[in-house]
Amino acid sequence: MSSAEVTREGQRGIRPGREARPGGAWRRGRRREQAMVPPAEFTSYYGKPVINSPVWHSPDIPGYFFLGGLAGASSLLGAGAQATGQPALGRAAKAGALGAVSLSLVGLVHDLGRPARFLNMLRVVKVTSPMSVGSWILSGYVPAAGVAAASALTGRAPRLGAAATVAAALTGPAVAAYTAVLVSDTAVPAWHDGHRELPFVFTGSAAMAAGGLGLLAAPPGQNAPARNLALLGAGAEAVAFELMSRRMGMVAEPYSAGKAGGYVRAGRVLAAIGAAGALLGRRNRAVAALSGAALLGASAATRWAVFHAGLASAADPKYTVVPQRQRRDGSGPPPEAA
Amino acid sequence: MTDPASGYRDPPPRMGFFTDTSVCIGCKACEVACKEWNAVPDDGLVFTGMSYDNTAGLGADTWRHVAFIEQRRPVPAGAGQDGEAQDGLRWLMSSDVCKHCTEAACLDVCPTGALFRTEFGTVVVQEDVCNGCGYCIPACPYGVIDQRKGDGRAWKCTLCYDRLGADMTPACAQACPTESIQFGPLDELRERAAGRLAQLHGQGATEARLYGEDPRDGVGGDGAFFLLLDEPEVYGLPPDPVVTTRDLPSMWRHAGAAAAGLVAAAATAFAAQWLGRRP
């Protein structure tokens, strides 16, 4: 850190003219500054961030996480509904999946710096790039989800629709999980350091959202699988999030402060309301619908929380410098092995 | 050392920069030369109050960035003074640049193939392919590459790829009046750096250290490495950068488990309904 005397806020540490203590004043000040708790002490270049913040925007990218997860998990509900002869649930889930993933694609293309070049995503197949892998997963999932929904809603081509439903159910979980790899595969501390648990946070959240949509849109006689999936998802997301926060140490701070902290708290409240309503209001269509909406909101809140926590952890150099120093000086976890 | 340009048949030797910050005079000729040669747009005329640094940092429109740090340090006794240890002002100056890492995260995550490895071992963005997805930007552990406002694409130092192809020296190295920025084959630069470090240590400058020179570090060694006179974070550099791709296999494994868990949860959801309906 520079100890220069001229700053934007004016001069500091200047000897007070006639009252000057020869060789005294600023040296005293320096000693005071150095009385810091050792592990938290760190230097930075004028407090500037070390890494560059993601240039992705809300609502496009957190919206994509939410809608992509919702779609992928809904396709599983659609396939199960098909297998167990529950057409109303099937229609809701399949239409929901198509609608969600289509909307998510709009967000993705809109967020590009050069949207007209969106097809360049399919120029190469690159396994070191989760975004490349994801683009190829989507190019298989979206047509399948489209055919499945069209067949279910119109009643036409039932065998083709059934095959497409299975294809969507096989690729849907990949759609729900790969976005966690995408954000983790960066230098952003709040994302990278959570890379083991984040896929479970995202798939749990996706399950909660798909279950919420089923509760909202399917009749009470057929919404039990949606309720069950929502509860399993809410539980998995909560546990995975807690494990992730504990492992990350100081890097978990952005998840409890600022915008991200607000979204985390909102998500917890909504998930609790949604889960309670789902459990208690089994027969009641209105209660089921309200719980469903709350669960969808909870899932969305989680995605926005993760997004903003990442931005906050990139903007403050301490989240980059302190863990790396601890690792280098041997007082922290060893560098990751592949 | 694995040559990152190993995909080419008979590539030329790997070229890079050795930036010896102990002789940098903070003239910023490197910043100007780079902008002039590469027609890089201006990124604002701002008074930052950060000593003589009004550029603030590397980005899409700054490919060489000179950092200034003023420090109050005790001057070693006998260093040309009366023999008494005194407090003095030490002025650190360093010209930061893209490191052209051996294991480059930006290159690994680029989904369009716009970022590629040249035959010189450097990393370059093809501006006619880049669609501005922005993935390379948070992937870089040094915070180098960024998105250009109003343009949408990602831009960074090319190590003057066009000049290298014509057997010329990159603009910044050509302009540097003190040869703080040295350009040449990486092997030769590493030898030179080791010699310079030994010389400085011999003169009592024990805080001098090489940064990014070690092929065993978290990014496999940098194509543009530095001699620093203090800790890396003082200059705004990460103390121990690791390319994010090293954890990618683990990430895929965990994602695979999570996806399988999702399928299992859906199956359980329907099984529970079926169990609940049985008399």
The residue among A333, A309, A332 whose CA lies nearest residue A183 is A309
Q: Do B69 and A2 touch (CB under 8 A)?
A: yes
Q: Do A173 and B260 touch (CB under 8 A)?
A: yes
At B75, list the tokens: 């001057």
Please report, as a single letter, which amino acid is at residue B197: L
Q: Buried (b) or exposed (e) across A194-209, using 16+ Cβ within 10 A?
A: bbbbbbbbbbbbbbbb
Chain B residues 59-78 with CB within 8 Å of chain A: 59, 67-72
Give the CA angle between residues A48, A50, A56 to the nearest 5°: 95
Counted domains in chain A: 1
Looking at residues B213-237, what average pLDDT do you find? 97
Q: State yes or no: pLDDT of A61 exceeds 80.
A: yes
- Kindly report, residue by residue over B165-180, the tens digit of the pLDDT: 999 999 999 999 999 9
Q: State yes or no: pLDDT of A198 exceeds 50.
A: yes
Q: Buried (b) or exposed (e) across A231-255, using 16+ Cβ within 10 A?
A: bbbbbbbbebbeebbeebebbbbbb
Minimal-distance CA residue of chain A relative to B145? A52
State the SS3 of A278-329: HHHCCCCHHHHHHHHHHHHHHHHHHHHHHHHHHHHHHHCCHHHHHHHHHHHC
Which value, to the nearest 10 degrees, does the dihedral of the CA atoms of residues A57, A62, A65, A71 take?
-110
Whether the CB of A123 is below 8 Å from some CB of chain B: the reply is yes
Specify whether the CB–CB gap between A246 and A311 falls below 8 A. no
In the prediction, which pLDDT does B22 show?
96
Whether the CB of B249 is below 8 Å from some CB of chain A: the reply is yes
Q: Do B244 and A185 touch (CB under 8 A)?
A: yes
Q: Give the rounded distance of the alpha carbon of A181 from its chain centre.
A: 10
The residue among A254, A260, A258, A302 whose CA lies nearest residue A70 is A302
Q: Buried (b) or exposed (e) across B172-210, using 16+ Cβ within 10 A?
A: bbbbbeeebbbbeebeebbeebeebbeebeeeeeeebbb
- Kindly report, residue by residue over B185-199, the tens digit of the pLDDT: 999 999 999 999 999
In the prediction, which pLDDT does A6 show?
67
Q: Do B147 and A123 touch (CB under 8 A)?
A: no
In the prediction, which pLDDT does B88 show?
83
Helix, strand, coil tally for chain B in percent (to 5): 30, 20, 50
Q: Do A52 and B254 touch (CB under 8 A)?
A: no
A-chain residues within 8 Å CB-CB of B233?
A: 42-45, 50, 317, 321, 325
Q: In this structure, what are the phi and psi dihedrals at residue B108, rounded to the nearest 5 degrees?
A: -65, -40
Mean per-residue pLDDT over chain A, rounded: 90
At B82, list the tokens: 């009366």
Looking at residues B206-234, what average pLDDT do you find? 96
Class of domain B15-241: alpha beta
Looking at residues B89-117, what average pLDDT do you find? 97
Q: State yes or no: pLDDT of B7 exceeds 90.
A: no
Mean per-residue pLDDT over chain B, rounded: 94
Q: Do B259 and A199 touch (CB under 8 A)?
A: yes
Domain contains A194: yes
Q: Do B138 and A186 touch (CB under 8 A)?
A: yes
Find the distance separating the first CA and the last CA of chain B, reported in whole Å. Answer: 70
Rounded to an integer, what distance in angstroms lies between the CA atom of residue B53 and that of residue B42?
15
| Burial of residue B23, with CB atoms counted within 10 A of its CB: 0-12 exposed, 13-18 middle, 19 or more buried | middle
Distance from CA of A180 to the nearest CA of B (A): 7
In the prediction, which pLDDT does A31 show?
42
Minimal-distance CA residue of chain A relative to B218? A335
In the prediction, which pLDDT does A26 show?
44
Looking at residues B124-131, what average pLDDT do you find? 97
Whether the CB of A85 is below 8 Å from some CB of chain B: the reply is no
Domain contains A134: yes
- Kindly report, residue by residue over B47-82, the tens digit of the pLDDT: 999 999 999 999 999 999 999 999 987 766 555 555
Specify whether the CB–CB gap between B95 and B24 falls below 8 A. yes
* Run of H or E including B17: strand B15-20
Q: State yes or no: pLDDT of A113 exceeds 90.
A: yes
Looking at residues A125-148, what average pLDDT do you find? 97
Looking at residues A174-195, what average pLDDT do you find? 98
Instruction: Give the residue from B216, B230, B270 with the most A CB atoms within 10 Å of its CB, the best one to mutate.
Output: B270
Specify whether the CB–CB gap between B197 and B210 falls below 8 A. yes
Higher pLDDT, B136 or A37: B136
Q: Do A80 and B132 touch (CB under 8 A)?
A: no
Q: What letter would DSSP give residue B41? A: P
Give the CA angle between residues B212, A46, B155 to the nearest 5°: 55
The answer to whether the peptide bond before residue A59 is cis (omega within 30 degrees of 0) is yes
Looking at residues A313-317, what average pLDDT do you find? 97
Rounded to an integer, what distance in angstroms lies between the CA atom of residue B204 and that of residue B202?
5
In the prediction, which pLDDT does A283 show?
84
Distance from CA of A156 to the nearest CA of B (A): 26
User: ipTM, 2 decimals?
Assistant: 0.93
The shortest CB-CB distance from A177 to any of B109, B142, B255 is to B255
Q: Do A181 and B274 touch (CB under 8 A)?
A: no
Looking at residues B14-38, what average pLDDT do you find? 97
Alpha helix (H) residue ranges in chain B: 29-38, 105-109, 136-139, 161-165, 171-175, 186-202, 248-277
Rounded to an integer, what distance in angstroms lies between the CA atom of residue B181 and that of residue B183?
7
Residue bearing tokens 């903003």: A308
| Burial of residue A334, with CB atoms counted within 10 A of its CB: 0-12 exposed, 13-18 middle, 19 or more buried | exposed
The shortest CB-CB distance from A206 to any of B113, B140, B262 is to B262
At B61, list the tokens: 């429109």
Chain B residues 105-164 with CB within 8 Å of chain A: 105, 108-114, 129-135, 137-147, 151-154
Specify whether the CB–CB gap between A173 and A203 falls below 8 A. yes
Give the residue numbers spanning the domain of A140.
60-310
Specify whether the CB–CB gap between B34 and B150 falls below 8 A. no
Residue % of chain A over a pLDDT of 70: 86
Looking at residues A292-314, what average pLDDT do you find? 98
Q: What is the CATH number of the domain that holds A287?
A: 1.20.1630.10
In the prediction, which pLDDT does B2 show?
62
- Number of residue pairs across A and B with CB atoms under 8 Å? 287
Instruction: Give the residue from B112, B123, B153 with the most A CB atoms within 10 Å of its CB, the best one to mutate.
Output: B112
Q: State yes or no: pLDDT of A336 exceeds 80.
A: no
In the prediction, which pLDDT does A17 show?
55
Looking at residues A76-89, what average pLDDT do you find? 97
The shortest CB-CB distance from B254 to any of A120, A199, A310 is to A199
The shortest CB-CB distance from B51 to any of A4, A200, A314 is to A4
Q: In this structure, what are the phi and psi dihedrals at residue B92, rounded to the nearest 5 degrees?
A: -90, 130
Specify whether the CB–CB gap between A195 and A257 falls below 8 A. no
* Domain locations in chain B as residue ranges: 15-241, 243-279
Residues whose CB falls within 8 Å of the CB of residue B147, separated by 6 or more in sequence, listed in order:
A55, A113, B60, B132, B134, B137, B153, B154, B155
Instruction: Give the residue from A181, A223, A283 with the most B CB atoms within 10 Å of its CB, the best one to mutate.
Output: A181
Residues paired with residue B75 on neighbouring β-strands, in sequence order: B86
At A97, list the tokens: 């999946």
Whether the CB of A45 is below 8 Å from some CB of chain B: the reply is yes
At B24, list the tokens: 């940098």
Q: Do B255 and A181 touch (CB under 8 A)?
A: yes
